[in-house]
Amino acid sequence: MGDQLRRRGRGSGRGLALTSFSSSTGEEAAGGDRLIHERDLAWLQEADVVVAEVTQPSLGVGYELGRAVALNKRILCLFRPQSGRVLSAMIRGAADGSRFQVLDYEEGQVEAMLDRYFEGDPS
């Protein structure tokens, strides 16, 4: 899914921040916590749309989503109910059907769901 989203962001004239899609291996060696924090905040500030996979609970993703809301970014959260997890009410409850959307998905549906989401993108 991360590769699909990265292709949509590049060369499309759209800034796209992806959260919880990148590999965490080697992050510590890449410059430490401060650098990672500053880099990710810069990505959020540049982005027009933030896409987050929220099936696996993550404090970092929650923090990034909060910052994205504060920056008035468009946000799409993707959740897999088949995981057996329950999505936090703080995430599902933030959905307003416009700037903040939460979509439940199954693995085979992702490409079509993203197509529909970005076809409706006014940017």
Query: In the predicted model, is pLDDT for residue 116 greater than 80?
Result: yes
Which are the contacts of 95, defined by CB distance < 8 A and separation ≥ 6?
A: 77, 101, 102
Whichever domain contains 55, its CATH number is 3.40.50.450
pLDDT in tens, 63-100: 999 999 999 999 999 999 999 999 999 999 999 999 99
Helix (H, G, I), strand (E, B) or coil at 19: strand
CA 108 to chain centre: 18
The domain in which residue 60 lies consists of 1-120
Query: In the predicted model, is pLDDT for residue 14 greater than 80?
Result: no
The span from the CA of 83 to the CA of 116, in Å, is 23
Mean pLDDT of all residues in 44-66: 93
The span from the CA of 74 to the CA of 92, in Å, is 15
Q: What is the pTM of this model?
A: 0.79
Determine the pLDDT at residue 94.
96
Which are the contacts of 27, defined by CB distance < 8 A and separation ≥ 6?
A: 36
Total domains in the chain come to: 1
1 carries a ligand binding annotation: no
89 carries a ligand binding annotation: yes
64 carries a ligand binding annotation: yes
